[in-house]
Amino acid sequence: MTQNRRELANAIRFLSMDAVEAAKSGHPGAPMGMADIAEVLWNDFLRHNPGDPTWFNRDRFVLSNGHGSMLLYSLLHLSGYDLPIEELKNFRQLHSRTAGHPEYGHTPGVETTTGPLGQGFANAVGMALAERVLAQRFNRPEHEVIDHNTYVFLGDGCLMEGISHEVASLAGTWKLGKLIAFWDDNRISIDGDVQGWFTDDTAARFEAYGWRVIRGVDGHDPEAVAAAIRAAQDDVGAPTLICCRTTIGFGAPNKQGSESTHGAPLGKDEIAAAREHLGWAHAPFEVPEEVYAGWRAGGAGTARQAQWEQALDKYADQYPAEAAELRRRMAGSLPEDFQEQAQAYIERLQAEGPTVASRKASQMALDAFGPLLPELIGGSADLAHSNLTLWKGSTSVTDVEARNANYIHYGVREFGMSAISNGVALHGGFVPYDATFLVFSDYSRNALRMSALIPTHTIHVFTHDSIGLGEDGPTHQPVEHLASLRHIPNNEVWRPCDAVESAVAWKVAIERRDGPSCLVFSRQNLAHQARGAEQLQAITRGGYVLSDPEGGAFDVILIATGSEVALATQAVGRLADAGIKARVVSMPSAEVFDRQDAGWRESVLPSSCRARVAIEAGVTDYWRKYVGLDGRVVGIDSFGASAPAAALFEHFGITVDAVVDAARSLA
């Protein structure tokens, strides 16, 4: 090891120590322990351009053990990203760009938001899959325009989380040879030595997944680390786990190797001792110019990007259509004719009026939109023939020769599936979707939350949306899930009432760029609803007037979603016979409706009419914001039961009679 390399790594250590100390909060141990590994990777192997963090063919680097965020912030600052020293001094402070855990879009060079352990690993698997599939689609002999690695740092905590099993298994199955993971094997977590709760043979576990495993690497020996990375890059037939034995808090002479360095500042005395121990004779946040020069030597990133752009121009000369598609997809723009053709399909559906389950309508939309969108990629958690996510143009990503690979069989791995989808979206070049039963959204809940928080352009498909799935019983019947998903900030939930609303939901989700969408579909057939041209356009506003009494005046408003819209429309005639005029409002997306201007919301739900009934086969409290305390909600506030769907709706009182009775009690 040269002294210079240790100095470069020590810059990471002391920036991390000083920032955590200044914040009086944070995790110095992991950055100190992984500094030598990071220095070798970033200075000798990582292909990136600090001057342009969005360069498409850059290597992706993910810090899955995101509590060690000062490792990443130090790397970004030292290598020349737009992250000045003042931001490191403001670590974990309000409005700084150095949050407690790395946040995508908040800090230049951060590839994903890593907070909950293991999800960064899953995102990295998604990124590596995206690179592989894009390379299959666009690369040609002598023109490898998509060619980059995905590197991910993992801690013991990431490997203890169950999601690590799900995504590592898939990465091995998919043979993602450009995915290289570094396990920070320091044997310490917050509670102390992990020997009391983590005795897995991790290396054997990954070998069983089909990974190449490089064991016993001294994480403080740059030559050993570099040799391991070269070996990993030489074998692209499988993903690689590099097992790096490290000392947490390396360099803090009295605390290194113990949990006391994991999640708390070292204290001024220990930092002073570390400065003496490592020979770092510099004030807090002071980095010598020669160290900066070592980190920023030569402007290699700018040169690499320029070389790639020249190669892309040569590719375009020979393959102009492919180059145009690639550039469009890199920019994240949709095909010019997508909106027009999608709208034409929706108008045809309205004219044809099919009565189908909305899960079938979803598949119909995929058949219509898929050929227009080569960037559409997705799949299901072992429920393809129930979720109906397979469409006519589906080709499995396991076909490594297919240029149009676009379908992912995830197996029974809901959490890993959704987190991988987030990684695919973050990589760019794709619009990913995933699917399972609505009740199993609980399994992927945290990844759904991260979709909205990051945010990612991810489409989460859920079918079997209520007690209407029938005989499988309460374990499979979602009652609280719609409300739960609606409460996630920046998440758009769509529960369409027929084939037309289903297609609109897909179109809006595809066009959305600032967050995820959850599309919720039925198992049972849904009746087609009549609409005029204005109503058809209004669906995109989340809530709209589906029908009004003749003459326009009404006594009560019926608000419904999904299969229950039909109950509302059927109740209209019965109420009219009783002298009560009813307006029907279909609200496929409450979140989208709530974002409309006050004029639109008032036109749909006028404040002058307080007689309101909400109808949805789920928990009732969510709807109080629309109907008020004096309104009525026809729903279900208990778990379901095992019986045919029709019997369940009758048993739980979600019927036309119940809607009529509720409306009559208000009018």
Q: What is the CATH number of the domain that holds 616?
A: 3.40.50.920
27 known ligand binder: yes
Q: Cα separations (Å) of 354 from 357, 368, 462, 468, 497?
A: 9, 15, 21, 19, 12
188 known ligand binder: yes
Rounded distance between C-alpha atoms, residue 556 and residue 576, angstroms: 11
Rounded distance between C-alpha atoms, residue 348 and residue 350, angstroms: 5
Q: Does 467 fall in a domain? A: yes
Q: Does 322 fall in a domain? A: no
Rounded distance between C-alpha atoms, residue 265 and residue 22, angstroms: 9
In 3-state terms, what secondary structure has residue 103? coil
What is the predicted pLDDT for the residue at 452?
98
- Residue whose C-alpha is closest to residue 214's, from 238, 189, 187, 195: 238
**pLDDT at residue 358 greater than cutoff 50:** yes
Percentage of the residues of the chain whose pLDDT score is greater than 90: 98
- C-alpha neighbours within 13 Å on the C-beta side of residue 524: 18
Rounded average pLDDT over 93-101: 98
The two beta strands, 525-526 and 459-463, are: unpaired
Q: Does 564 fall in a domain? A: yes
Do 184 and 134 fall within a single domain?
yes
How does 293-307 read in b/e, with b if 16+ C-beta sit within 10 Å?
Answer: ebbeeeeebeebbee
Q: What is the DSSP letter of 344?
A: H
What is the predicted pLDDT for the residue at 297?
73
Do 445 and 589 fall within a single domain?
no
- pLDDT tens column, 467-523: 999 999 999 999 999 999 999 999 999 999 999 999 999 999 999 999 999 999 999
**pLDDT at residue 324 greater than cutoff 60:** yes
**pLDDT at residue 298 greater than cutoff 70:** no
Rounded distance between C-alpha atoms, residue 544 and residue 539, angstroms: 6
Do 293 and 432 fall within a single domain?
no
Grade residue 667 by pLDDT with cuts at 50, 70 and 90: confident
126 known ligand binder: no
Which range of residues forms the domain containing residue 500?
A: 337-526
Do 353 and 238 fall within a single domain?
no
498 known ligand binder: no
Grade residue 236 by pLDDT with cuts at 50, 70 and 90: confident
Rounded distance between C-alpha atoms, residue 295 and residue 39, angstroms: 9
Do 106 and 152 fall within a single domain?
yes
Q: Where are the alpha helices (DSSP H) in 444-546?
A: 445-453, 481-486, 499-511, 533-538
How does 166-180 read in b/e, with b if 16+ C-beta sit within 10 Å?
Answer: bbbbbbbebbbbbbb
Q: How many domains would you assign to the chain?
A: 3
Consecutive H or E run containing 557? strand 556-560
CA–CA–CA angle 306, 308, 313 (5° rounding): 95
| Measured distance between the N- and C-terminal CA atoms of the chain, rounded to whole angstroms | 84
- pLDDT tens column, 512-525: 999 999 999 999 99
Do 167 and 274 fall within a single domain?
yes
Rounded distance between C-alpha atoms, residue 467 and residue 485, angstroms: 17
Q: Does 329 fall in a domain? A: no
Do 609 and 567 fall within a single domain?
yes
Residue 41, domain CATH: 3.40.50.970
pTM score > 0.85 for this model?
A: yes
CA torsion 628-631-632-637 (nearest 10°) is 20
Q: What is the DSSP letter of 608?
A: T
Do 71 and 136 fall within a single domain?
yes
CA torsion 276-282-284-285 (nearest 10°) is -130
490 known ligand binder: no
106 known ligand binder: no
Using alpha carbons only, how large is the chain's radius of gyration in Å? Answer: 28
Do 619 and 658 fall within a single domain?
yes
Consecutive H or E run containing 614? strand 612-615
**pLDDT at residue 2 greater than cutoff 60:** no
Q: Name every residue whose Cβ is closer than 8 Å to that of residue 629 and which is 6 or more positions away in sequence.
A: none
How does 376-407 read in b/e, with b if 16+ C-beta sit within 10 Å?
Answer: bbbbbbbbbebbbbbbeebeebeeeeeeebbb
- Tokens 């592989």 belong to 132
- Catalytic annotation present for 144: no
Max Cα distance, the chain (Å):
91
157 known ligand binder: yes
- pLDDT tens column, 274-291: 999 999 999 999 999 999
Which tokens hold the place of 248? 């947490």
Rounded distance between C-alpha atoms, residue 547 and residue 555, angstroms: 13
117 known ligand binder: yes
Catalytic residue among 7, 21, 322, 414: 414
Do 157 and 224 fall within a single domain?
yes
- Residue whose C-alpha is closest to residue 358's, from 516, 589, 528: 528
Which tokens hold the place of 661? 């009775």
Which tokens hold the place of 339? 């909106």
148 known ligand binder: no
20 contacts 70 by C-beta, under 8 angstroms: yes
523 known ligand binder: yes
Q: Does 532 fall in a domain? A: no
Which tokens hold the place of 201? 């043979």
Amino acid residing at 432? P
Rounded distance between C-alpha atoms, residue 366 and residue 394, angstroms: 10
Q: Which of 472, 491, 526 is the last residue of a domain?
A: 526
115 known ligand binder: yes
In 3-state terms, what secondary structure has residue 44? helix
What is the predicted pLDDT for the residue at 534?
97
Rounded average pLDDT over 444-466: 98
Residues β-bridged to residue 615: 560, 634
- pLDDT tens column, 546-557: 999 999 999 999
- pLDDT tens column, 136-164: 999 999 999 999 999 999 999 999 999 99
- Tokens 């490191």 belong to 88
Q: Name every residue whose Cβ is closer than 8 Å to that of residue 13 and which is 6 or more positions away in sequence.
A: 31, 32, 35, 250, 251, 274, 278, 280
359 known ligand binder: yes
476 known ligand binder: yes
* Average pLDDT of the chain, as a whole number: 97
636 known ligand binder: no
Residues β-bridged to residue 376: 431
Q: Name every residue whose Cβ is closer than 8 Å to that of residue 173 and which is 6 or more positions away in sequence.
A: 209, 210, 398
Amino acid residing at 610? R
Q: Does 534 fall in a domain? A: no
Q: Does 320 fall in a domain? A: no
Which tokens hold the place of 176? 């993602």
Rounded distance between C-alpha atoms, residue 373 and residue 431, angstroms: 9
What is the predicted pLDDT for the residue at 300?
87
What is the predicted pLDDT for the residue at 1?
42
Q: What is the DSSP letter of 59?
A: P
Percentage of the residues of the chain whose pLDDT score is greater than 70: 99
- Residue whose C-alpha is closest to residue 249's, from 278, 225, 211, 284: 278
Question: 69-79 and 3-23 are packed helices; what angle lies between their axes, rounded to 10 degrees?
Answer: 120
- pLDDT tens column, 101-128: 999 999 999 999 999 999 999 999 999 9
Which tokens hold the place of 207? 């070998």
Beta strands in 50-178 (DSSP E): 60-63, 150-154
Q: Which of 526, 553, 574 is the last residue of a domain?
A: 526
Q: Which of 257, 273, 301 is the last residue of a domain?
A: 301
What is the predicted pLDDT for the residue at 3?
60
Do 345 and 456 fall within a single domain?
yes
262 known ligand binder: yes
Q: Does 323 fall in a domain? A: no
Do 559 and 584 fall within a single domain?
yes
Q: Name every residue whose Cβ is closer than 8 Å to that of residue 430 and which is 6 or more positions away in sequence.
A: 130, 133, 134, 329, 375, 376, 377, 424
The two beta strands, 582-586 and 556-560, are: parallel
3-state secondary structure 410-471: CCCCHHHHHHHHHHHHHHCCCEEEEEEEHHHHHCCHHHHHHHHHCCCCCEEEEECCCHHHCC
The two beta strands, 188-189 and 192-193, are: antiparallel
